[in-house]
Chains A and B, each alone.
Chain A
């Protein structure tokens, strides 16, 4: 049996009367390739926000490597190794691709607080960032302003910034969202080449992506875990199929946002 990296116990979050996430017990193993799926408004993004500490839970606990981190702020959780990407790009749009990654790498390497030493002399930071861009096949775009890149490449930068944090747990919120299908393979290739020891949780709507990537799938509906299993089990589960065809998904339409 593999070690559990990230765990939630009876995790809940209510927005007024809306139960966005209710009593979720969830386990993410070390080195996992785990997909979280569910209809719009099922509480997937709220769940990610609870894991990363953007939102405090109404109830329940989050544990990282067996240690309770429920009270830890977002920044502390990043230092402990939980990193995420966003469904909609959150990049330093006016800066070059290389600078985007450097800011993240410098933060992780503990360089970002230094005031009197030129950033340009932190060759360790710059070199690591450039290496990362090479592995993601972004090196040729390193000097380009992020806002000048096509959307698919911007999604890669989003990924690069997060990988630069060297996370143990990586939460990918619809990494290929908005990317034209002709370009989406570059994102998927990059995700498949992630270091094996990282535990990856991916939220995705595209079932091809889920079945290509994930070893385990959790289905969320109406803020609760609806089913969990191997991709095969999920695929053949008649209730899950029904949810995805819309019959059982009505409750989830009240979700707070496109989660």
Chain B
């Protein structure tokens, strides 16, 4: 507190100035940002309502939840810490194959501990690759993340004695959740609720993380890494930790995918998946937690319904939507919504002020 302060103002009652400081709107925003808001319950209410309202779509719903979790893991690395990656499916696949191989060879099939192991496997790969990768940035980093993923994909392809190679591992027998709720391949109610629970826990963790001082420093790294060095921040360590956590969450998403689909194959490690999750996040809006939710819903809904209407050319529609988003909503759908909301609120307060001066 001794920074550049003139002594008179400090002795003149620190309490008064403290109260004045907390009145400042900037302080209020900062001290309240981590608090839960009412609308944050909406995604979960929607999920529960959908569970009862659309029983025929539960398989689709479980896939959606897995995609949200995967996009959320990417948001932590890309949206918050600014780690440019095109290889995030490496960790998704690592998680999926961990769960898949353990279940296929009858080693371990309890779902929740399997997910923990999937997270561990992905985290180890994330930490090891991150220690090397995160010395680079920009295009080099992008290429190296891509290479890591390609390496894993090739390893899974060539190790077909263990991984099933190109065909993958079919018909995984996953033990019931809590020993009670069985996964039914024909009716995905257990899968849906299980995925929802896992997502809720992971989301609560990510939310805590991004609003912590650690999360704030990640934002600092994204905004200006040279300044972070200059204020004495251990930048590389923070990045590796963030990347490892992000990898672990992607691993959980992959494990969940393997469990809910009861198989794994090379598609879990492919560029297609890595690119799709990136598109999902950009579509929804990165660096804002709920972008993953909005992006996944919009992307999968578009894919689903466009494929029904135009079975041969549905990707064209998706492409057009992406072009529009890239041109007019740089910060995704949520970014666009925020801009519109601000504009509406400003014009409303302006009109009120005008009315008051008129009367």
Contact = CB atoms under 8 A, between A and B. Distances in A.
Contacts of B326: none
A6 to B, nearest CB: 16
20 contacts: A74-B230, A74-B232, A78-B232, A90-B224, A95-B223, A97-B26, A98-B30, A99-B216, A107-B233, A113-B217, A117-B212, A119-B212, A119-B216, A126-B27, A127-B18, A128-B1, A132-B4, A139-B21, A161-B227, A162-B231
A134 interface: yes
Contacts of B6: 135, 193
Interface in B275-290: none
The 3 closest A-B pairs by CB, nearest first: A78-B232, A143-B26, A142-B26
A9 interface: no
Given A114-B212, A120-B32, A91 B232 contact: no
A42 interface: no
Contacts of A52: 230
B331 to A, nearest CB: 11
A112 B30 CA distance: 15
A116 interface: yes
Interface string A55-74: 00000000000000000001
Contacts of B4: 132, 135-136, 163, 190, 193-195
B216 A106 contact: yes
Nearest to B31: A120
A15 to B, nearest CB: 19
A115 B209 contact: yes
Interface in B154-196: none
B230 A84 contact: yes
A166 interface: yes
A122 interface: yes
A139 to B, nearest CB: 7
B359 interface: no
B289 to A, nearest CB: 14
Given A120-B33, A132-B4, A166-B3, A96 B26 contact: yes
Nearest to A82: B232
Nearest to A141: B26
Give the size range of B's interface with the partner: 35 or more
Contacts of B212: 114-119
A103 interface: yes
A99 B216 CA distance: 9
B231 A108 contact: yes
A126 B29 CA distance: 11
B350 interface: no
Contacts of B215: 115, 119
A165 interface: yes
Q: Which of A79, A93, A113, A123 has the most CB of B within 10 A?
A: A113
Given A52-B230, A74-B229, A86-B230, 4 more contacts: A103-B219, A103-B228, A112-B217, A130-B26
Interface residues of A, number: 63
Nearest to B216: A119
A121 B34 contact: yes
Contacts of B213: 106, 111-114, 117, 119, 122, 125
Interface string A161-176: 1111110000000000
A166 B2 CA distance: 9
A257 interface: no
B136 interface: no
A216 to B, nearest CB: 21
A211 interface: no
A52 B231 CA distance: 11
Interface string B13-47: 00001100100111101111111000000000000
Interface in B211-246: 211-217, 219-220, 223-224, 226-235
Contacts of B209: 115-116
Nearest to A163: B3
Contacts of B25: 143
A195 B10 CA distance: 14
B3 A135 contact: yes
A112 B234 CA distance: 10
Contacts of A96: 26, 29-30
B27 A142 contact: yes
B5 A135 contact: yes
A115 to B, nearest CB: 4
A130 B24 contact: yes
Interface string B304-318: 000000000000000
Nearest to B226: A90
Contact of A92 (B1, B32, B227): B227
A128 B14 CA distance: 12
Contacts of B267: none
A75 B233 contact: yes
A131 interface: yes
B208 interface: yes
A180 interface: no
A114 B209 CA distance: 9
Contacts of B2: 166, 195
Interface in A203-248: none
A104 interface: yes
B35 to A, nearest CB: 8
Contacts of B32: 120
A119 B211 contact: yes
A193 B18 CA distance: 21
A223 B32 CA distance: 51
A150 interface: no
Nearest to B205: A116
A77 to B, nearest CB: 8
B216 A103 contact: yes
B135 to A, nearest CB: 14
